[in-house]
Structures are given as structure tokens and as C-alpha cells.
Amino acid sequence: MRRYAAIVRNMFLESLNFRADFIFMVLGNLVGVFLAYYLWRAVYAGSGGTLHGLGFLQAFAYVAVSGCIFTMIETWAEWDLAMSISRGDIVLRLHLPLDLHLTTLVESLGIFLTRLVFTGVPFLLLIIFAFGVPVAAGINLIFFTVSLFFSFLISFNIDFIVGVTAFSFESVLGLKLIKDAVILFLSGAVIPLAFFPEALRPVLMVLPFQAMYYTPVNLLLGEKSIPESVLMLLIQAGWIAAFMTAGRLFHRKILGKLTVSGG
Amino acid sequence: MNKKIIEATGLTRHFRVLERREGLSGAFKDLFSRNYRTVKAVDGVSFSVDRGEILGLIGPNGAGKSTTIKLLTGVLKPTAGGVTVDGFVPFSDRRRYVANIGVVLGQRSQLWWNLPVIESFKVLKEIYRVPDAVYERNLKLFNDLVDLKRHYHTPVRKLSLGQKSICDIAASFLHDPALIFLDEPTIGLDVSVKKNVRKIIRTLNRELGTTIIITTHDTGDIGNLCPRLILIDKGTIVYDGPTARFNKAFGSFRTLHLDMSDMGEDERGALEGRLAGCFPCREKISVREEGDGWVTLTLNQDEVPLLDVLNHCLKTCRVKDVKIEDISLEEVIIKSYEGALA
Ligand SMILES: Nc1ncnc2c1ncn2[C@@H]1O[C@H](COP(=O)(O)OP(=O)(O)OP(=O)(O)O)[C@@H](O)[C@H]1O
Ligand SMILES: [Mg+2]
């Protein structure tokens, strides 16, 4: 474990070097939060307070917190992986006496942690204190933290699978953007699930994507009872197990197929 | 312990490469029917390496050297044949196996790009679970050879190519590997850094008994480091034996490049016959047109003095410029097929 921890540490240190990236990410988030605020205020104008059972602050909170989660769990792992396969840099990871899937995971974890500390937490504070989103200071915070980490694990494994399949396509970036757009939409991160047509909602609830955004946001806002919250976490854990297994299968399959370019 | 550390038998790796058709209509056709071509990068090579040996792998571009290294380091799965290294089957046992080897690639760095050099060393120490004493000893060994300490706190991206190469070699042996594979470690380095790299490799081999496999295009690396070499061409072994025998067979060969662009093509064409007439020898002087007016002569100094041939050419032809070089690897391979090393 210490071996992988050392990689997390270095990846954390290394991503601290991209200060300009952070500044732009923070600015981007800031713009996003303001846009969401004014957009949803316009949507709610003249609505008499609630739409589809959600108040304005709730709807805004869903979208703003989801955006914030996206910037944390979106570590470009699929891009890094596809690029390192197509450029052949993947050999450098294969030379280490480590598991490729786990190594990629902990590298991604290092980036996730930097994002959490330097953009995630400040933005959550901003949303809560500047915009007045009601978040209780109780067990919901612990549920949220666990759930956020779970979301990262699901997201990483999807990225891993996309990354190892994407390198054979000419457009890794295109595939990545489509994947992000689909996940954000179907998970209720762009438009709260409550706003989706009645018929569609049960379908979305059995898809894995809601577990990545809807679950942590719900747990943060603390609208569910403790047993309900625990159940949501368990469902999320179930999705992690499924995606971890799929990631392992792809990992096994790809190792024999790698041709490792260059040299 | 087995004396042989590497045993490869019929080691083969083929690649299936998509032949892309040209242009837009070609790309469209590619969507529906694809043409594959098989590249025999490594094609049935067998050899063995003794513990503590320094072995040089040479060959022209695309010969299959890097692919051989990738098969030996467990990165690629062989298409056929097999290899064992230090009791492991590299590809199947990769995770356990690579703990025991070090790999240096001239074109890629395993160091963390934005972090000070020492941070990379520290993480490698954790990854390979290197005991403190071994880690300290190896760093000291390195510091005695080349002053590495002054780079410890420099971010890798700020190192020069030469400094980075030295650090990469240091990184590859921190864990006391039984073997180190170096794929073109001296590529792009100047003479003095090359010398340092060779000194380091020689010392590691002598002090720690590390087996070294090195690929290179620099005959200086081979001459200075490797008592034995393997010459590869088109995925097969052309020569495997002592460097001394190789040098004896080819050391007296020279290539003479002459700029004869002022002469007509037929005039240049007559040169080969005329040389054969003037300098009768067992192996006739080969003459090759380079297409840009330059002509390349290859001759064996044991049979015919270079200066006589040069004088003859200067007297009988209009020569604008002259360059003299050792025999090229391409010529060596042609001559090997003709039986020069038999
Ligand atoms: N991943 C790959 N996919 C397809 N073909 C490959 C791949 N890797 C190598 N080849 C082909 O295999 C052959 C041998 O390549 P290799 O890299 O082993 O040569 P090399 O001896 O290292 O050459 P160089 O001196 O230029 O580095 C070449 O024809 C190359 O095009
Ligand atoms: Mg090569």
C-alpha cells in the first residue's frame, strides 16, 4: 500500500505545478456558478416558488454542487491513458512492479485530491455561504465525503474503460467529450432529475450515472433519512463493484493486446 | 544459480499493421474494408546471455532491437517462441519479474517531469521497497562517479538531455536489479556525457555484477563496453559473437565518399570496372551511386591501400569533395550475408 501511496503523493505534488490550470479552473467554476444562479432564477421567475417539487435554492444547489463534483472527479484519466498508449509512454508504467489498473487509479486519485483541496472545498464553501444554499453541519457531511470518493471510483473506472478502448480511435478527445456530456445529462447534473419526464425517471434511476452526481448532492443537502442515506451509499458501492470488475476485465484484456508504439 | 541469465529460443513478434489508403476516398474505403500487413519485427531469434555479461545489440533502423528489448522486459507478448530471464517468463510474470530489472529508454524518461529529481528517486525507493542501506550505497556509488547531488533539487524539466540521461540511469539501478536494459541510452548525447555514461555502465557491471543489455547506433559504445555483440537485421540475428572478431572482419574496411557531380553518369558508371582493372583483389571494390552525384566506394585496407585508390580517383576523375568513414552498418550487413563473418 505504501508503494501506491508514494505515487499518490508525487501526483499530488506534481499537479500543484499547474497553477495556471487551477486559476482557470477556479474562474471557470465561478462563471459556471453565476450562470447557473441566474439561469435558474430566470426559470423560477413567476413560478410561485416551487417547480416539480423543488424550490429555487434546491434546484440551484443540485446544479452548482454537481458542477463542482464534476471538476473534482473529472481527472482526464481516459485522455492520459489513451495518449500514453498511443505514444507508447505506457511502457514506463509497465516497467514498474505494480498493477497497471491500480497505478492508473492512484495517479488519478492524486489529481482528485488536489482538486478536492484547491477547488472543491472552496467552491462548496462559496455555494453555501455566498449563495445561501442550506447545508446542515451534521452526519450528512460525512456521508457526502464518502459518497464523493465513491463517485470518483465509478468515474475513474468508466474513464479507464474509455481510455483503453479509445486509443484505437482517431478522436480520443471527441469520445471523451461525448462521454462527459452523456454522463452529466443522464446523471441529473445539468438538469435536476426532478425535471425529467415522469416516464424517464425510473430508467435514469436504474442507470449508474445518477449514483455519480445525484447521490452525493442528495447526501450533502441532507434531505434523506439516515437509513435512506446508507442505502444510497450501498447502491453506489454496488456500482463501484460492477465498474471495478469491468475495469479489471478490460485491464486483463488490454495487457495481451498492447503493441506499445515507438522506440 | 544458473550461469545463463537469459535464454531465448525462437523468440518471435509479429505486428499486424493497418495499411491506410490515401486521401479522403481511401479513408472512406478503410471504414469498410481494411488491409492488414504483417511486420515481422522479431522473427525467430535464439540466444543466451551469461550472468554479469555486457551484451550489445546493434542493427540498422527498424531492425527489431527495441522490439527485442520489449519482449525481454515483459512489455510485449511474444507471437511465438519463448524467453526466460533469471527464471521468469517476462510477459506472464511481469509484475514480479520487473522488480528484478532496470530499464532505461533513451527517448523517454521515467522521472516525474515537474518534480525535483530526488522526489523521483524517493518514490522509486518505495515502489521497489529498497532498503535504506542499499539506497544510500547506490546513490553514493553514483555520486562518486558523477556529481549527481547538485541536480537533486532541480525539477526534471529543467535538466539538460545529458543530465536527464544520467539521472535516468541512476533511477534504473537504485533497487539493485540483476539486469539493466538500455535502449539507445547515448542517443543525442555529446562526447563527454557519452564517456560518463559508459563509465557508469562499466562500473555497475564490475562493482555490482549487473548484467547489461544495451542497444545503440554508436559503434563507440560497442567498442568501449561490449565484449560481445549481436547484430540484428530484419528481425533475425546476422551475427552473434565476440566484438573482437567482428572488428577484425570489418575494422579494416573504409568507405570513401566522393563528390563527382561534375561528371556524366556514364563516366561515373565506368569507374567500377576501371577500379577492378587497376586494383585486382579478392573482394572487388564496391561502387555505389548515391543519386546526388556522390559515389560511395567500400574497400578493404588489408587488400588495397586506401590512399592508392584515392589518388587514382583524384587523377582520373573530377572530384569536388572527399569524405572518409568507417564501414556503415548497412554495408556490414550486406557483407555478412556474403559470408564475411563465416
Ligand atoms: N507497435 C508497433 N506496431 C507496428 N509495427 C511496429 C511496432 N513496433 C515496431 N514495429 C515495426 O517493427 C520493426 C522493428 O522495430 P523496432 O522499433 O524494434 O526497430 P529498432 O531496431 O529498435 O529500430 P531503431 O534503430 O530505429 O530504433 C519496424 O519495422 C517497426 O515499424
Ligand atoms: Mg529502437
Using the predicted structure, report yes or no on whether residue A122 has a pLDDT greater than 70.
Answer: yes
3-state SS string for A186-200: HCCCCCCHHHCCCCC
3-class secondary structure, A154:
helix
Atom of ligand 1 at shortest range from CA of B64: 18
As for ligand 1, residues whose beta carbon falls within 6 Å of it are A 259-261, 263; B 15, 17, 39, 41, 59, 61-67
Which amino acid makes up residue B142? F
Q: Which three cell numbers stand for residue B182?
A: 538500455
Sequence letter at residue A20:
A
Distance from CA of A141 to the nearest CA of B (A): 33
Cα radius of gyration (chain B): 24
At A82, list the grid cell.
Answer: 489513451
Residue B257 in 3-state DSSP? Answer: strand
pLDDT above 70 coverage of chain B, percent:
99
Quote the CA–CA distance of B175 and B214 in Å, as a whole number.
19
Does A91 sit within 8 Å of B108, measured CB to CB?
Answer: yes
**pLDDT at A251 exceeding the cut of 80:** yes
Reported residue count of chain A is: 263
Q: What CA–CA distance (Å, rounded) separates A36 from B320?
A: 76
Chain A environment of B70 (Cβ under 8 Å): 91, 260, 263
Can you give the pTM of this predicted structure? 0.89
Which residues, at least 6 apart from A181, have a Cβ–Cβ distance to it below 8 Å?
none
Task: State which residue of chain A sits closest to B92, comparing Cα positions.
Answer: A256
B4-248: CATH homologous superfamily?
Answer: P-loop containing nucleotide triphosphate hydrolases (3.40.50.300)
Is B127 close to A3, i.e. CB distance below 8 A?
Answer: yes
How many CB atoms within 10 Å of residue A113? 20
How far is A240 from A94, CA to CA, in rounded Å? 25
User: What is the residue-wise DSSP string for B317-335?
Assistant: S---EEEEEEPPHHHHHHH
3-state secondary structure of A49: coil
Convert the pLDDT of each residue in B162-213 to its tens digit.
999 999 999 999 999 999 999 999 998 999 999 999 999 999 999 999 999 9
Euclidean distance between CA atoms B115 and B152, whole angstroms = 10
Pick from B300, B199, B320: nearest CA to B249: B300
Q: In the numeric block, which cell numbers belong to residue A133? A: 444554499
Q: Does A263 contact B66 at a Cβ distance shorter than 8 Å? A: yes
Q: Does B30 touch chain A (CB under 8 A)?
A: no
* B67 to A262: CB separation less than 8 angstroms, yes or no: no
* Rounded distance from Cα A221 to ligand 1 centre (Å): 56
CA-closest residue to ligand 1 atom 4: B15
Q: What is the DSSP letter of A168?
A: T
Among residues B247, B238, B236, B227, which one has the least CA distance to residue B49? B227
Nearest residue in chain A measured CA to CA from B64: A263
User: Within 10 Å of residue A177's Cβ, how many Cβ atoms?
Assistant: 11
Q: What would the pLDDT profile of A5-36 be if each residue is shown by its tens digit? A: 999 999 999 888 888 888 888 888 889 899 99
* Interchain CB contact of B73 with A (< 8 Å): yes
Phi, psi dihedrals of residue B256, rounded to the nearest 5°: -115, 115
The answer to whether the beta carbons of residues B301 and B256 sit under 8 Å apart is no
3-state secondary structure of B91: coil
ipTM of the complex: 0.88
CATH 3.30.70.1150 fits B252-326, yes or no: yes
pLDDT in tens, B32-86: 777 888 999 999 999 999 999 999 999 999 999 999 999 999 999 999 999 999 9
Measure the CA–CA gap between B196 and B189, rounded to whole angstroms.
10
**For A116-225, where are the alpha helices, taking DSSP H only?**
121-129, 139-166, 172-186, 201-206, 210-221
Cβ–Cβ below 8 Å for A96 and B98:
yes
Q: Which residue has the higher pLDDT, B261 or A219?
A: A219
Characterize B164-174 residue by residue with b for buried, 16 or more Cβ atoms within 10 angstroms of its Cβ, and e for exposed. Answer: bbbbbbbbbbb
Predicted pLDDT at A263: 65
**Does the structure show a pLDDT above 80 at B342?**
no
Which of A85, A69, A23 is closest to A219 using CA atoms? A69
Alpha-carbon gap, residue A237 to A215, rounded angstroms: 11
Residues A150, B273: Cα–Cα separation, whole Å = 80
Q: How many CB atoms lie within 10 A of CB B325?
A: 12
Q: CA B2 to CA B87: how far, in whole Å?
A: 9
| Max mean pLDDT range (A223-227, B23-27, B269-273) | A223-227
Report the residue of chain A nearest B126, measured CA to CA.
A3
Q: What is the pLDDT of residue B1?
A: 65
Give the pairing of strands B321-326 and B54-58: unpaired
Asked whether the beta carbons of residue A99 and residue B95 sit closer than 8 angstroms, the reply is yes
Rounded to 10°, the helix A100-115/A77-87 angle is: 140
- For residue A169, give the 3-state DSSP assignment: coil
Chain B nearest CA to A234, separation (Å): 33
Question: pLDDT-derived band of residue A1, with 50, 70 and 90 as boundaries?
Answer: confident
Q: How far is A162 from chain B (nearest CA, A)?
A: 21
In single-letter form, the type of residue at position B64 comes to: G
Cβ-based contacts of A88 with chain B (< 8 Å)? 108
Residue closest by Cα to atom 5 of ligand 1:
B15
Lowest-confidence pick of A14-28, A207-221, B294-308: A14-28
The 3-state DSSP class for residue B259 equals strand
Contact B261, B249 (CB under 8 A): no
B161 grid coordinates: 538531455
DSSP bridge partners of B57: B215, B230
- Specify burial of residue A179 (Cβ count, 10 A radius: 0-12, 13-18, 19+): middle
The domain limits of chain B are 4-248, 252-326
Residue of B nearest to A259 (CA): B76
CB nearest A17 (choices: B73, B114, B127) = B114
C-alpha cell recorded at residue B307 = 590512399
Comparing A5-19, A153-167, B222-236, B266-280, which segment has the lowest mean pLDDT? B266-280
pLDDT band at A151 (very low <50, low <70, confident <90, very high): very high
> H-type helices in chain B, by residue range?
23-32, 65-72, 94-97, 117-127, 132-145, 161-173, 191-208, 219-225, 243-250, 265-269, 271-278, 306-316, 329-337
Task: Look at residue B301 in the predicted model and tell me its pLDDT.
Answer: 86
Using an 8 Å Cβ cutoff, are B274 and B316 in contact?
A: yes
User: What is the Cα gyration radius of chain A?
Assistant: 19
Question: Residue B140 and residue B166: Cα distance in Å, rounded?
Answer: 14
Question: Where exactly are the structural domains of chain A?
Answer: 2-257
Average pLDDT, integer, range A224-245: 95
